[in-house]
Chains A and B, each alone.
Chain A
C-alpha cells in the first residue's frame, strides 16, 4: 500500500475495513457486477450469498485484486481498504494480497512439506528473522487453523498427503501466517464433508477475533451460522446487505426472501 498520510484523512469510521463504491466488473462483454456499494466492517464475518453466477465470487476476488490475473477482466469504481483506493496506480497488488489473504474453494496446498506450505508467505515477505521465529509463526498459524495437533509430528510430510478437510485448514493456516488484516474465503467448505465443515466453521468464528473475514458460501445455513453480516447478490446486483439475523428472518427485498425460502436460485 502507499504510505502517504493524506489518505488517512478520507477515513470516516475506523471500524469500516472495506468500502466499495459503484463497483462494476466486466468480463469482456459480460457485465458481471453492476454498481455494487457495500461497507465491510473490521473483526466481523461477512457472508456473500446468492445463486451461482450472481457475481459474489467475482466481487470477492476484486477485494484483493485476484481478478488482475485474468486478462479480460475490467474493474471500475472505487474499493477502499482503510480508506485507501486499492485500485490506485501506486498500489502494488502483491503487497495488497499480503494484507488481504485468500482461501480458495478447492484446497490447494503446494507440493511441499506442511511446514514449507505455512512458511511460504512469511518467507517471501521476510516476516521472520530467524529459524526459531519462523518455527514460531508456523506453529502459531497451525494452531490458529486448529490443525496443529494433527500435524505437529509430521511437519515434513507433504501437504498434499493430508485429507481434504486437513488440507483446507492447512490452506487457512498458510493464509493467516502472513498476518493479513482481512481473510477472503471463496466457498471454503464446498469440497469438505460435514465434520470437516464444522471444524472450519468453528475456526472461522475464532478468526473473527483477529481478522475481518469475508466468506462466499452456497449454504445459507452456513451463512446463518458463521456470519454477522450478510450480503445477497443476484444477477450481478447487490440486492440486500444487513445484519445476518435480519436478512434471514425479515428480509426487505422480495428476491432475498424468495432465495432464502428456496423459490429462486
Chain B
C-alpha cells in the first residue's frame, strides 16, 4: 500500500474519531454540553489527535528506517564476486534501479507479478525487457544483481505490508484508548492544548537543530581542512593562490580584507541614505506620502541579488569606468571593482536600514516629542536631540544586521567585484570576498579530499563566526539600551 494512501486513511480515521469522540462526550453528559469540562470539539480533537499523531509518527520513522534496513540486508546477501570490480554503493544503486524497473513493468502490465518474481537473468534479457516499458539501465543485468533486486522487492513488499498493518493498528489503538477515557469530567482541553504546545516546541527545536546540523557539518569539514593545511598559514597568509595541482597558498587575509572593504563601502552608502529616508518617512512625510513611499522603498528589498549583480556588471561598472577609467581620472582599469560592488550592495541594503530604523523611530513615544516641542524646540532639534538618541540602540542594531547581510552577500560580488584576491587600498581595483571564493572553490569537479576544496568550509566557518559575532553584538546593544530607556 503506498504511503500517501496510508496517510489519507489515517486522516480519514482521525476524522471519524473526531466525530465519535465528540458524540461520546456529549452522550456522557446526557446531551447537556454545559456539564462537560471542555467544549465538545476538544473531545473530538483529542480522539483525532490520539489516533493520528502516533500513527503518522510511526509512519515517518518507518519510511526512514525501512530502506536502510532492507539495503543492508540485501547488500549482505550479494556475493563478493559481483562487487569485485566496483564498490558496494554502485552495485546497490543498480539493484535499486532494477527493482524500481520491475515495479514499473508490473504496474504497466508488461509483466505479471509472478513473472517479475521468476525472471532469470540467464534466460531473459532483463535490460531489453525493461527498456520496453521506458526504464533505461546502464548495463546488462547480471544474475546476482537480478536476484538481489528480486530480494529487494520482496522485502520492500513485506515491509510495506507490515508498515500498513502497524500504522493501522496504532490508529485503532489510539482511538480506542482516547474514546475509552472520554467522559464528561475528562480534561480534553488541557490535553489538546498540551498537544499544541508540543507541536510549537517541535517547530522551534527543528529550527535550532537545523542550525546545529549546519554548524556541525562546517566544523567537521573545517577540522578535516586543518589536518591538511596549517592553521597559522590560513589565518595569517597574505596570498590567496589555490591550485588544484597542489602547492596552493590559501591565505585568509586577502579575502577578509576584500569582504570588509566592500562591506564598509556598502554601509557608507546604505547607512546615511537609509537613515535619512527613515527620518523623513517617520517624522516629516504626510501619512499619504508615507503609505506610498515606504512600500516603494521596500520593493528594493524584494529584488533578487543576482539582478543587483547584473546592474553592477552592466550599468554601474561601465559608468564608473567612464569617470575613473583611462578616459577620465585614470585609476580604474575595469568595470569590476570594489567600488562597483560596494555601491550596488549599498543600494541593496538601503531598505534594510530604512525600514528597521523607521519602525524604531516610530516606537519612540510621542510624549518625548511633545515634551521637546513644548519647550520650544523645532522639529529638527527634536529629532537630533531627543528622537535619535532614544532610537539609537535600535538603529545601531539595524546597521549591524545590515552589516552581516553585506558580509554574507555573494552574487553582487561575483559579478561586480571580480575574482582576484588582493590586498590593496585602491577601491577601484578588483578584489574578491570570502563568499565569492567559497563558490569558486566548490563549483566544478571538486575533490573533497583536497585542501583546495576543503578550504571552503574553513572560509564558511570563519564567515559564520564573524556574522554571528556581529549579530550577538547587535542584540547586546539593543537589549542593553532598551532597558535604560524604559
Are these two chains actual partners, yes or no? yes
Residues of A within 8 A of B390 (CB): 110-111
In this complex, how many residues of chain B approach chain A with their Cβ under 8 Å: the count is 23
Residue from A96, A120, A174 with most neighbouring chain B CB atoms (10 Å): A120
Minimal beta-carbon separation of B81 from chain A (angstroms): 81
In the assembled complex, which residues on chain B have CB atoms less than 8 Å from the CB atom of A121? 375-377
CA distance A96 to B378 in the complex (A): 11
- How many Å lie between the Cα of A111 and that of B367 in the bound state? 12
Q: Which of A97, A103, A108 contacts B376 (CB 8 A)?
A: A97
Q: Which residues of A contact B375 (CB under 8 A)?
A: 97-98, 101-102, 120-121, 124, 174-175, 178
Answer whether A66 and B376 are a contact pair too, CB < 8 Å, given A108-B365, A112-B389, A124-B385. Answer: no
For A66, what are the chain B residues with a Cβ–Cβ distance below 8 Å?
370, 373-374
Instruction: Decide: A101 and B389 in contact? CB cutoff 8 A.
Output: no
Question: Mostly helix, strand, loop or mixed at chain B's interface?
Answer: helix
Contact call B368/A108, Cβ cutoff below 8 A: yes
> CB-defined interface of B352-388 with A at 8 Å, one 1/0 digit per residue?
0000000000000101111111111110010001100
Task: Given A69-B370, A97-B375, A101-B375, verify A110-B381 contact (CB < 8 Å).
Answer: no
List A42-98 residues whose CB lies under 8 Å from chain B: 64, 66, 69, 71, 94-98
Nearest-CB residue, chain B, relative to A97: B376
Contact B371 A95 (CB under 8 A): no
Determine whether the beta carbon of A108 is less than 8 Å from that of B377.
no
Nearest CB of chain B from residue A237's CB, rounded to whole Å: 26
Does A131 belong to the interface (CB within 8 Å)? no
CB-CB under 8 A from A158, the residues of chain B are: 484
Which one of A71, A108, A112, A120 lies within 8 Å of B367 (CB-CB)?
A: A108
- Chain A residues whose C-beta falls within 8 Å of the C-beta of B370 in the assembled complex: 66, 69, 102, 104, 108
| Shortest beta-carbon distance from B381 to chain A in Å | 5
A160 at the interface (CB under 8 A from B): yes
Cβ distance B477 to chain A, nearest Cβ, rounded Å: 15
What is the CA–CA distance of A96 and B286 in the complex, to the nearest angstrom?
A: 24
A64 with B374, Cβ < 8 A, contacts A110-B386, A124-B385 known: yes
- B5: interface (CB < 8 Å): no
**Which residues from B are CB-within-8-Å of A108?**
365, 367-368, 370-371
**Complex Cα spacing A111 to B369, Å:** 12
User: Is the Cβ of A178 less than 8 Å from the Cβ of B376?
Assistant: yes
- B426-485 residues with Cβ-Cβ distance < 8 A to A are 484-485
B371 adjacent to A97 (CB under 8 Å): no
Flag if B389 contacts A124 (CB, 8 Å). no
B378 touches A175 (CB 8 A): no
Known: A94-B378, A104-B367, A124-B381. A111 touches B484 (CB 8 A): yes
Closest beta carbon of chain A to B425's beta carbon, Å? 40
A95 cross-chain contacts in B, Cβ below 8 A: 376
A125 adjacent to chain B (CB < 8 Å):
yes
Within 8 A of A (CB), among B383-410: 385-386, 389-390
Given A104-B370, A110-B386, A112-B389: A98 and B365 within 8 A (CB)? no
Give A170 to B373 CA distance when docked, in angstroms: 16
| Contacts A110-B386, A120-B385, A158-B484; A97 near B367 (Cβ below 8 A) | no
Which residues from A are CB-within-8-Å of B485? Answer: 111, 160
| Inter-chain contact B373/A110, CB cutoff 8 Å | no
Q: How far is the CA of A129 from the CA of B367 in the complex (A)?
A: 29
A192 interface residue, CB < 8 Å from B? no
CB distance from A181 to the nearest CB of B (A): 12
Closest B residue to A69 by CB, please name it: B373
Given contacts A95-B376, A97-B375, A108-B368, A160 and B385 within 8 Å (CB-CB):
no
Chain B residues whose CB sits within 8 angstroms of the CB of A208 once the complex forms: none
Given A94-B377, A112-B389, verify A160-B484 contact (CB < 8 Å).
yes
Assembly CA distance A243 to B485 (angstroms):
43
Partner of A110, one of B371, B378, B486: B371
- Identify B372's interface contact among A64, A106, A110, A160, CB under 8 A: A110
Chain B's nearest CB lies how many Å from the CB of A22?
A: 26
A171 within 8 A of B: yes
Residues of B within 8 A of A96 (CB): 376
- Shortest distance from the beta carbon of B387 to any chain A beta carbon, whole Å: 10
**B396 to nearest A CB, angstroms?**
15
Contact in complex: A171, B376 (CB < 8 Å): no
Beyond contacts A108-B368, A160-B486: 14 other A-B pairs, Cβ-Cβ < 8 A, are A69-B369, A95-B376, A104-B370, A109-B371, A110-B371, A110-B386, A110-B389, A112-B389, A124-B376, A124-B381, A160-B484, A160-B485, A171-B371, A175-B374
Which 4 A-B pairs rank lowest in CB-CB distance, beginning with the nearest?
A: A98-B376, A102-B374, A108-B367, A97-B376
Residues of A in contact with B (beta carbons under 8 Å apart): 64, 66, 69, 71, 94-99, 101-104, 106, 108-112, 120-121, 124-125, 158, 160, 171, 174-175, 178
A–B pairs, 9, beta carbons within 8 Å: A99-B376, A101-B374, A110-B368, A110-B389, A111-B368, A112-B389, A125-B376, A175-B375, A178-B376
